[in-house]
Amino acid sequence: MSIAALPRAKLYLRPTAFIDAPFGYEGQFHRLAGGLCFFSAYEVIAVDGGKRIGQWLVPVSDIDAALVGHADAQEALVRLTAARAPLHLGERVIRLDQPHVMGILNMTPDSFSDGGKYVDDAVAAASAGVEMSAQGAALIDVGGESTRPGAAAVWAQDEIARTAPVIERLTRAGTAVSIDTRQAEVMAVARAAGAQMINDVSALLHDTASLALVAEAGCPVVLMHAPDSQHTLHGDGMATDDPLLAVYDWLDARIAAVVAGGVAREKIIIDPGIGFGKKLSENMALINGLALFHSLGCPILLGASRKRIIGALSNEAPVEQRLGGSVALALAGAQAGAQLLRVHDVPETVQALRVWRGLRDAALTPRA
C-alpha cells in the first residue's frame, strides 16, 4: 500500500536518517527547525480510525510528491523545518538554533529529587541559581510546588512565599527566570517579581484564569502534556497503545486552544511530559520519537533529569545516582533537536553539550 492510496489518512512526519553535515548532498537533506541537526529522510506514519495503518521511510527529495493531497501534512512539513523565534527574556535573548540548559531550582520541601534543600532560605537559593547561570544555564526554572505522584496541593500564597523572594534576587542579578507553576495568582506575582517565562505542567488547564493572564503578559509559556492536567497530573496513566501519537495530538489541540485564547504561537514551547502518568515503555517511546514534535512548529523542552526512567533502566539507581542517565537523556534530546533541556545537574550537562556542539561545529566546517 502507498501513501497515495490513503487520501483520507492523517499523516505524521518524523525526521530520521540524520547526517553529520549537508555538504555535497544538495536536495537530499532538510534542516531541523533551523538548528544544528540535518536529516535525509522522513518516517511518514499514516493513521485512520485512530490506528496506524502504514508507515514509510521517504527520502527528503521525494517528500513533497508523497504529501500531495495531504494539506495538513504539508503544513507540518513547513513548520518542521522553519527556524524557531528566539526567546526574549528581559534583556536576555536566547536563540533557539541550538540546545540550551534550563537549571532547576526547587523551593519545595518534598520534590522527588532535591526537595527541602533551599526551603526558607531565599538568599541561598538565589545564590545557587546565579551559580547555575554562571555554569552555563541559559535560564533558571523556579518552582514552589512538588509535582511528584501523590504530592499535596500547595496553597497559592505558600507557593508565592517560596518563590517570589528568590525570583526578585535572581532578576536583580541579571539571571533569566522561568516560574514553574500552574496557578494564575503565582504566575502574576512571579511576573511582577521579574520572571520572564511561565512553565505550566498543566498546559494552562489547572487554573481557568491562567490563559488570559499569559495572553495579556505576552511572555513565553511552556505547555506540558499530562494525562490529568486539571487535577493530579498523573491520573491513572495513559489509556493508549500509541503514546507518541497520543501526546502529539494532545499537544496539537492544546496549542490550537491556547492560540485561540490570545497567545501567539511563537511564544509557545511544548513539553511531552516525561514521567507524568507514563509507564517506562511510554517514556521511551516519547524520547525515541521526540523529533516528531517539531512538526508542531514550537520549540521543544525535554525534562527527563533524574527521573524514574533512569532508575528503571539502571538497576533501580536512587535519585542521587542518576547523573549519567540524565546526561544521556539530555544528549538524546539534543540529537533530536530539542531546544531546551531542563536539568538538575547544570555543569555536567553543559559540558556534555559543549562536547556535542564541538562535534557539530567540526562536522559543519567546510573542508578546504
Q: Say which of 191, 267, 306, 342 is annotated catalytic.
A: 342
**259 & 315 share domain:** yes
**57 & 38 share domain:** yes
Out of 98-107, 154-163, 164-173, 230-239, least confident range: 230-239
Say what percent of the chain tops pLDDT 70. 98
Least Cα distance to 103 among 122, 128, 123, 84 occurs for 128
Mean per-residue pLDDT over the chain, rounded: 94
Q: Say which of 14, 267, 278, 307 is annotated catalytic.
A: 307
187 part of a folded domain: yes
Residue 113 clears pLDDT 90, i.e. is over it: no
The last residue of one of the domains, among 27, 53, 81, is 81
Residue 177 clears pLDDT 70, i.e. is over it: yes
| Amino acid 238: pLDDT | 86
Q: Tell me whether residue 307 is one of the annotated catalytic residues.
A: yes
**66 & 101 share domain:** no
Range of the domain at 33: 3-81
368 part of a folded domain: no
281 DSSP 8-state letter? H
| Amino acid 152: pLDDT | 78
**How many folded domains does the chain comprise?**
2
**60 & 188 share domain:** no
* pTM of the complete model: 0.96
| Amino acid 148: pLDDT | 77
**63 & 162 share domain:** no
The last residue of one of the domains, among 59, 81, 103, is 81
C-alpha grid cell, residue 50: 485512530
Q: Tell me whether residue 117 is one of the annotated catalytic residues.
A: no
Least Cα distance to 81 among 160, 124, 22 occurs for 22
Q: Please, is 236 exposed, middle or buried when counting C-beta atoms within 10 Å of its C-beta (0-12, 13-18, 19+)? A: exposed
Residue 107 sits in a domain whose CATH number is 3.20.20.20
**112 & 36 share domain:** no
**122 & 233 share domain:** yes
